[in-house]
Amino acid sequence: MIPEPAAAPFNLPILSLLIILPLAWALLLPFLRETRTVRIVALAGAVLELALSLLTAAALRPEVAGMQFVEQTAWMPSLNVHYLLGVDGISALFPPLTALLFCAVILASWTSIQFMPRLYFALLLALEGVTMGVFCALDLVLFFLFWELTLIPIYFLISLWGIGPERRYAATKYTLFMLAGGVPLLFGMILLGLHHASAAGLNFDYRVLLEHPLPAPWQTPVFLLLFFGFAVKAPLFPFHTWLPTVLREGPVGLSALLVGLKLGVFGILRFALPLAPAAAREFFWLMTVLGLIGLIYGALVALRQSNLRKMLAFSSISHVGLVIAGLAAMNLQGVQGAVFQLANFSIVAGGLMLMAGFLHHRLGSTDLASLGGLARPLPRFTALFLLLGMASIGLPGTNGFIAELLMLLGILQAAPGVAAFALLGVILGAAYFLGFFQRAFLGPVTQPAIASAMDLRPRELLIASIMGLLAVTGGLFPGLVQNVTASAANAWVMQMTVNQDH
Amino acid sequence: MPDWLIALIPALPLAAALWIGLTILFGQANGEAHERRTSRLALIASAGSFIATLLLIAARLAETVPDQVTFGGWLTSGSYQVDLNFLTDGLSLALLAVTTLASLLIARFAVNYLHREAGFHRFFMILSLFTAAMTVLVMGGNAVLTFIGWEIAGLCSYLLISFFQDRPVAAGNATRAFVINRVGDAGFLLGIALAFHWLGSVDWSTVNAGAAGLSTTQAGILAGCFLLAAVAKSAQVPLAPWLARAMEGPTPSSALFYGMVMIHAGVYLILRLQPLFEQSHIAMAIMAIIGLATALYGFLSGLTQTDIKSALIFSTTGQVGLMFFACSLGFWRLALIYLCCHALFRGYQFLSAPSILRQMHGVRTRPVSNVLAQRSGLYNAALQRFWLEEAADAIIVRPVQRLAGVLIRFDTLVVDRATGLPAPAVNALSSVAQWEEHQLGAGRILARAPGAIDQEPGILAQATEWTAAAFHQVEEQLMLKSASQGLAVAGDQLGQGLHRIERWLGRSWASMALFIVILAVLAGISGMMAETESGAKSSGFPLLSALLIVPLVGMLAAFRARQAQTAFALGLTTAVIELFLAAQLLMRFQPQTSGMQFVEQFDIPGLHAHLGVDGVSILFLPLTALLTLFVLLYTQSHRQQQAQPGRFVASILALEAALIGMFTALNLLQFWIFAVAEIIPAAFLIARYGTSSARNRAAGHFLRFMGSGLAALLAGIGLLGWNHAAITGGNWSFALSALLETPAPASQQSLIFILLFTGLAVRLALFPFHAWLPIVARHGTVAVGIVFLVGVKVGVYALLRFVLPLLPSAAWQWETGVIALGLAGMLYGALLAFRQSDLRRLLAFAVISQSGLLVAGVFSLNPAGLRGSLLLALNLGLAASGLFIVAGLIYRRLGTTRFYRLGGLFETAPLLGLVFLVVVLGSIAMPGTPGFEAAHLALEGLLESHGWGVATLAASGNVLAAGYLLWAYQRIFLARPPQDVAQPMSDLRHRELIMAGLLCAVMVGVGLYADPWIKTIGGAVDEAAHRLEAVAGKGHHAPGAH
């Protein structure tokens, strides 16, 4: 018997609420006077959103493979576009993690944002709302709307609150890269819709498009368009150059969101592969090769970085490479590992980036020249940083290990020859992270500013220890995640192998 | 024997480690005061583990324990299943006993040894964690559990080597040790993955049982993977050197890790996998070589050591090498016994080393042994530890570092440049700005403001810049010059008369007289229409006539007004009434019907006047009314600067009337007359209220261009009428309905098409007929600019209304050419926009670019394309007007719109910045603005009719638009302001705020819910498309469907 999808808790349109609540909150903020009130209200909104997203995740029935909590309303009948939301076991993981990361970012920006705090927090919440939309949208056009809407708050966050001298350049660079990535996406989606139009009427409903796979000659362009469109945002080598720039110049909170929430990879997972499975199988080598190049390339470049935030940027590029290769394996281990790793990013990469921000707040820089010997004055900071770092290089006992192991298993089964290259990443990961750790945290204290630096404040300690706790929890109890994703991932793999014999 | 006792063995030290860790983190374990609590906790945990181990051994001897105990699943992914299972066979128990005993002894030793050391608590946390990890390692029933212990033990080793955090050497050694361990871990991971791949399980029992079924190669590879892991962990040649470096840690840790426990983990792994290794002779042979080599290495290097700990560690290496050797020869049991004895003995030696050191203080170091003393080469080699580390550095580490260095340069110089998408916007423009600054002598001040962009241009950027530069040359040398010289000469016959008009316009009274005469005629016509209303489909009240009359009445009233207040009050009232009427029209409009509605017709001599609206024209009426209202609101908010406000308001209202007339005309001649009527107040506004001294020249330009366009249009209309007369036998008519019944013969269609298209192209500012627009935008008033933008869309409207229905086969014939022209114009305008140094000129080129896209969309000639272009035209009317309004607001505040004088406005005028951003996003078709659905439909149309290449090209226009508009935004609102210019910039005032808010609300509102509008235009547009397709079906030219 096929289990029924769960009803939304209290019969609420809960996914719409997830999207609207932060947006409404963002509109509320500009009317507040006191900066303190603004922060508290913003945090309250984010916490409420977190509760709501946890409620969603709790109400989800993981044994159901299909979409749940579906909401559907006609939006643009001329194009047969609907306001269509839904989550399955894969995407349901992300709203709570997103909400958590936003809470952390708001807490982390508590005192470090002094310039126009109302606008800052309003933009953050707006970004949260549209990010939720990206995760929940099931109509391609609606997805694209949310996808592009993320640009606006990000542009402002970078250009107005960036911490580098070239923040405006970084903002423009980011926007243009994303717009350039948006064009192939839009094309791919139009093609999908048009093809469906020639058979059974224009349609952008993800579920309908899944059921009617494209004929093989159409799949190739659609797949390549979607894949490269998403690859820019992922970012996948060679489209990655915006990420180091933005992470170096942008505000730390936003950087944490950019490395923590990999919307581009989510797009590949959700749209690019399942909508063109035959082409995806055909181009499996392309994804694997690009992914592994990214993995090794990012790790090697990270090896020589002298700025913590740039190092984290290249580390993120490296990790994304492995995730793409894991997805390309198109087997259960590969995809479950990839989803697990995507979930980890928001905890581990996001947490590390926030901690880099704490450091920047104290020392005014995250460059090696002004770091050194941090372990003695900042023991707690060092301990938690090391813990998250170990999670990022996949140490057993942390969530990173589970994800990496699963992805390696997946890649090895799909392409035994290249798995060895994936393992190079394991070694290089330790090398670049510990190399940096050694130079920045160990050894004698080099600067007077460091000697007098304050260890983690309670607020910061809260963020870092929650992230650390989650990293360890994920590592010790992987079933928590695996159970949620299992049947949706199974369905995903089935979708990828459909019509394989033809 | 209860199972939980087994679980207790790793759980106790793990819990202790967690607890100590948390107390450190939250500041509850500080210094000496808490030492006793911490050490006790660790001791109790170790003792508990040890006792549990003893109990387990006892139970094992009593044979009440199975070989393997499973606590359930841990990690599941499909067929991949990792259980939480523990082995309790002899091998595990032997090592378990050694491990727990060692950690208990060493914990006790460390309590005294580390008393009052800075990292006391940290040490006990790591020690407990290590104990837990080692017990998991030796008890783990599957490869993954063992690996977890394996790797966490490695982490503990890292933490202890770098225990004295201030010592740079310790830190370096720790990193090195961990990375080398990680090499082994990679082997282990590969082993796990291969075991799952080939054997379907990672349980040790399955691996060993299944080993017999593997081919020799498979077994060899699998054994090789685990051997690599063992070699790294047990510090065998060639990965041996890290062990000597590990001596940086405190002595108890050295004893535990490298003397007693961890160093033997590799041997344990090999013992555990005995059946697997027995399957592969090659792996055994390699193991023998490695073991023997390590034994020699350890022995010889140990001889040269002068420090007791170093000597001990080399001895350990050698002994472990012997264990490997024993295994490789098949003496498995011997190796195990050897291991246990060695561990305990070595542990004792390490722990007593500090005391020996103290006792020996001052005693001469021991002499070089005889073996080495006589062989200086060997001595050197042993002293240098056989250069293993140097070799590894030379072969692996340094090349990797060099490669990393090369890749960093590759990243910045090649990848960043090759994918340097943003650079066109940034560089092409900044080079112009620099040039301009240089020309104006402002260069030195602005040369390199902090925050200026100094990125290398990308390859794409370079290409774009070169193309843009080339186009710029073309524009400067050919277009503008020919516009002012060549084209003028070509149109001289016509130009003579127009020049006179231009001179007239210098004398405002004269021009106004003409203008009043024309409008009076029109007013008379309207008056007659009100009487001769023939309400075929009309709804009683003559709404269209009213729409025409109201602005004329307002104009006449305002013209005489002396006071600005009166004039604007009259003007605004008129505009509001007009908007109300237009809204009424829209509400009464029936979207489903495709025919003309609200038709009013009547005859006056020589002209069969005919008014009506359908889906194509209906939306332009409220848009025109709305924009007129914007213009009046805009100018009113700085009315003190206007001379003769009455005439200004009157001209604007006259323009409105003319535009409404064009949108409602169903007779070609009537359309033409309104078009003529439009240019007069427009030229007057440019000449009289322009913002620079060149405004008269600009007006002249405008008149010349429009004059030529109108002439071409008139010629085309004349030919159509003549054709009608020829067919119907001398019965001249210019009414659309009449002309539709008498289609022109194919031979003439092309000529007429070219005439009409050229005439409209001038109006549309389509490349290459666009040269008037930048000049007008630069020198004319902002208000005129806005009205023109609606005017520009008149061109699109007329194409849809007259050209396509009347000349369908010519349209099919010229379709490809027109699309090529449109797209060329789009690219041309976009690239030139990159080169502009003035906001208003930039916007003009943006409009030129968008006109190109519009025309291309119209000529996709299918319903989607037509709908899309029509919507796009409406959207651009809104968005581009918004851009011009913002430009005007900036001009009003700062007296300039040149980029080098602007910067950082967002800080002082954030609202203005937001409005600008909303309209920018609208004009680049972001989702959520009306442009999105429109562009989507237009692209869909182009894709359908002309396939990939064309659609891609069209879409690239939006990307370019994003480039230059966002660049302009960045430059004006975000970049650092020029230092020499004081900018007392105020944000939006009340009236401006109303206007801007209205604009943004309309854009976002329509954008998020465009459906009603699409429905409104849908019927008529589909009708037009079907008519076209019908022609294509029977016509001589195949439709461009691909």
Reported as a single tens digit per residue, the pLDDT across A16-25 is: 999 999 999 9
pLDDT band at residue B516 under the 50/70/90 scheme: low
Cross-chain Cβ contact B404/A300 below 8 Å: yes
User: What ipTM was assigned to the predicted interfaces of this complex?
Assistant: 0.92
Q: B99: which 2 tokens?
A: 């491990």
Is the predicted pLDDT of residue B731 greater than 80, yes or no?
A: no
pLDDT band at residue B538 under the 50/70/90 scheme: very low
Between strands A68-76 and A81-87, the pairing is antiparallel
pLDDT band at residue B875 under the 50/70/90 scheme: confident
Helix intervals (H) in B807-929: 808-833, 839-858, 863-894, 905-908, 910-923
A 10 A CB-CB count for B457 gives 19
> What's the pLDDT score for residue B537?
42
Least confident of A21-35, B117-131, B351-365, B780-794: B780-794
Substitution target in B117, B144, B165 with the highest count of A β-carbons within 10 Å is: B165
Distance from CA of A433 to the nearest CA of B (A): 9
Cβ neighbours of residue A209 under 8 Å, at least 6 residues apart? A140, A192, A196, A203, A275
CB nearest A434 (choices: B144, B179, B867): B179
Q: Closest by alpha carbon to A409, among B410, B192, B608?
A: B192
CB nearest A76 (choices: B24, B178, B1011): B1011
pLDDT band at residue B881 under the 50/70/90 scheme: confident
Substitution target in A368, A409, A487 with the highest count of B β-carbons within 10 Å is: A409
Residue B935: in which H helix or E strand, if any? helix B930-969
First-to-final CA distance of chain B: 79
Helix intervals (H) in B329-375: 332-359, 370-373
| Dist. CA B993–CA B947, nearest whole Å | 44
Looking at beta carbons, which residues of chain B come within 8 Å of A486? 76-77
Cross-chain Cβ contact B76/A479 below 8 Å: yes
Least confident of A467-476, B611-620, B772-781, B1033-1042: B1033-1042
pLDDT band at residue B497 under the 50/70/90 scheme: low
The answer to whether A491 and A65 are in contact (CB under 8 A) is yes
Nearest-Cα residue of chain B relative to residue A476: B74
* 3-state class (DSSP) for residue B731: coil
Substitution target in A144, A168, A220 with the highest count of B β-carbons within 10 Å is: A168
Q: What are phi and psi of A97, to 5 degrees?
A: -65, -40
First-to-final CA distance of chain A: 29
Distance from CA of B52 to the nearest CA of A (A): 23
In chain B, what percentage of residues exceed pLDDT 90?
Answer: 15
Looking at beta carbons, which residues of chain A come within 8 Å of B1021? none
The residue that leads in pLDDT, B781 or A226, is A226
The residue that leads in pLDDT, B201 or A499, is B201
> What's the pLDDT score for residue B503?
53
Looking at beta carbons, which residues of chain B come within 8 Å of A397? 148, 152
| Dist. CA B606–CA B673, nearest whole Å | 13
Mean pLDDT for A215-227 is 88
Least confident of B30-39, B232-241, B476-485: B476-485
Least confident of B213-217, B325-329, B444-448: B444-448
* Long-range pairs for B180-183: beta carbons < 8 A, 24 or more residues apart: B180/B232, B180/B239, B180/B242, B181/B154, B181/B157, B181/B232, B181/B233, B181/B242, B182/A426, B182/A427, B182/A430, B182/A431, B182/B154, B183/A427, B183/B228, B183/B232, B183/B239
Q: B943: which 2 tokens?
A: 């894709």
Choose the most confident range, by mean pLDDT, from B133-137, B451-455, B654-658, B1000-1004.
Answer: B133-137
| Dist. CA B820–CA B950, nearest whole Å | 9
Looking at beta carbons, which residues of chain B come within 8 Å of A159? 970, 974
Q: How many CB pairs under 8 A join A and B?
A: 255
pLDDT digits (tens, 9 = 90+) for A253-291: 999 999 999 999 999 999 999 999 999 999 999 999 999
The residue that leads in pLDDT, A410 or B561, is A410
Between strands A81-87 and B80-87, the pairing is unpaired
> What's the pLDDT score for residue A25?
93
pLDDT digits (tens, 9 = 90+) for B836-850: 778 888 888 888 888
The residue that leads in pLDDT, B365 or A461, is A461
Q: B819: which 2 tokens?
A: 């699309």
| Dist. CA B860–CA B857, nearest whole Å | 5
Cβ neighbours of residue A251 under 8 Å, at least 6 residues apart? A109, A113, A157, A158, A161, A162, A163
Is the predicted pLDDT of residue B525 greater than 90, yes or no?
A: no
Cross-chain Cβ contact B974/A145 below 8 Å: no
Least confident of B105-109, B386-390, B799-803: B386-390
Angle at which helices B930-969 and B808-833 pack, to 10 degrees? 30
> What's the pLDDT score for residue B519?
54
Nearest-Cα residue of chain B relative to residue A182: B959
| Dist. CA A422–CA B252, nearest whole Å | 37
Cross-chain Cβ contact A438/B400 below 8 Å: no
Nearest-Cα residue of chain A relative to residue B956: A183
The answer to whether B534 and B603 are in contact (CB under 8 A) is no
Angle at which helices B839-858 and B930-969 pack, to 10 degrees? 150
The residue that leads in pLDDT, A226 or B938, is A226
Is the predicted pLDDT of residue B31 greater than 60, yes or no?
A: yes
The residue that leads in pLDDT, B264 or A5, is B264
CB nearest A443 (choices: B166, B194, B937): B166
Cross-chain Cβ contact A431/B179 below 8 Å: yes
Choose the most confident range, by mean pLDDT, from A68-82, B553-567, B581-595, B922-936.
Answer: A68-82
A 10 A CB-CB count for A298 gives 32
> What's the pLDDT score for residue A2?
55
The answer to whether B975 and B982 are in contact (CB under 8 A) is no
Nearest-Cα residue of chain B relative to residue A420: B190
Q: Closest by alpha carbon to B282, among B332, B216, B232?
A: B216
Mean pLDDT for A215-243 is 89
Distances (CA, A) of B873 to B617, B791, B847, B852: 11, 11, 11, 11
Looking at beta carbons, which residues of chain A come within 8 Å of B400? 300, 303, 428, 431
Substitution target in A147, A150, A176 with the highest count of B β-carbons within 10 Å is: A176
Burial of B474 (0-12, 13-18, 19+ CB in 10 A): middle
Cross-chain Cβ contact A152/B192 below 8 Å: no
pLDDT band at residue B817 under the 50/70/90 scheme: confident
> What's the pLDDT score for residue B642?
61
Nearest-Cα residue of chain B relative to residue A414: B197
Cβ neighbours of residue B682 under 8 Å, at least 6 residues apart? B651, B655, B702, B784, B787, B788, B791
Q: What are phi and psi of B375, to 5 degrees?
A: -120, 95
Q: What are phi and psi of B73, to 5 degrees?
A: -75, 155
CB nearest B77 (choices: A221, A401, A406): A406
> What's the pLDDT score for residue B657?
87
Mean pLDDT score of chain B, rounded to an integer? 78
| Dist. CA B63–CA B53, nearest whole Å | 15
Least confident of A83-92, A198-207, A279-288, B180-189: A198-207
Least confident of B394-403, B831-840, B1005-1014: B1005-1014
Is the predicted pLDDT of residue B814 greater than 80, yes or no?
A: yes
pLDDT digits (tens, 9 = 90+) for A440-471: 998 888 888 888 888 888 999 999 999 999 99
| Dist. CA B43–CA B107, nearest whole Å | 6
Q: Determine the residue type at B612.
A: G
Q: A387: which 2 tokens?
A: 């813990």
> What's the pLDDT score for residue B631?
81
pLDDT digits (tens, 9 = 90+) for A147-174: 988 988 998 899 888 888 888 778 878 8
Cross-chain Cβ contact B1014/A76 below 8 Å: yes
The answer to whether B41 and B124 are in contact (CB under 8 A) is yes
CB nearest A412 (choices: B197, B425, B924): B197
A 10 A CB-CB count for A439 gives 18
| Dist. CA B475–CA A113, nearest whole Å | 47
Nearest-Cα residue of chain A relative to residue B14: A397
pLDDT band at residue B1038 under the 50/70/90 scheme: very low
> What's the pLDDT score for residue B144?
93
* 3-state class (DSSP) for residue B264: helix
Distance from CA of A488 to the nearest CA of B (A): 12
Looking at beta carbons, which residues of chain A come within 8 Å of B418? 238
Q: B957: which 2 tokens?
A: 């226009």
The residue that leads in pLDDT, B423 or A46, is A46
> What's the pLDDT score for residue B463?
65
> What's the pLDDT score for residue B152?
92
> What's the pLDDT score for residue B457?
47
Nearest-Cα residue of chain B relative to residue A310: B408
Is the predicted pLDDT of residue B800 greater than 90, yes or no?
A: no
Helix intervals (H) in B536-667: 543-559, 564-588, 615-618, 620-636, 645-664
> What's the pLDDT score for residue B709?
86
Least confident of A6-15, A19-28, B466-475, B647-656: B466-475
Is the predicted pLDDT of residue B437 greater than 50, yes or no?
A: no
> What's the pLDDT score for residue B444?
35
Substitution target in A76, A390, A424, A485 with the highest count of B β-carbons within 10 Å is: A76
Mean pLDDT for B707-731 is 84
Q: Closest by alpha carbon to A208, among A331, A82, A88?
A: A82
Q: Closest by alpha carbon to B670, among B681, B680, B658, B679?
A: B658
Distance from CA of B289 to the nearest CA of A (A): 25
> What's the pLDDT score for residue B927?
66
Mean pLDDT for B282-297 is 93
Q: Which residue has the tokens 């070609």?
A: B668
* 3-state class (DSSP) for residue B75: strand
Q: Which residue has the tokens 């983190």?
A: B25
pLDDT band at residue B999 under the 50/70/90 scheme: confident
Q: Closest by alpha carbon to B626, among B583, B683, B568, B566?
A: B583
Cross-chain Cβ contact A426/B174 below 8 Å: no
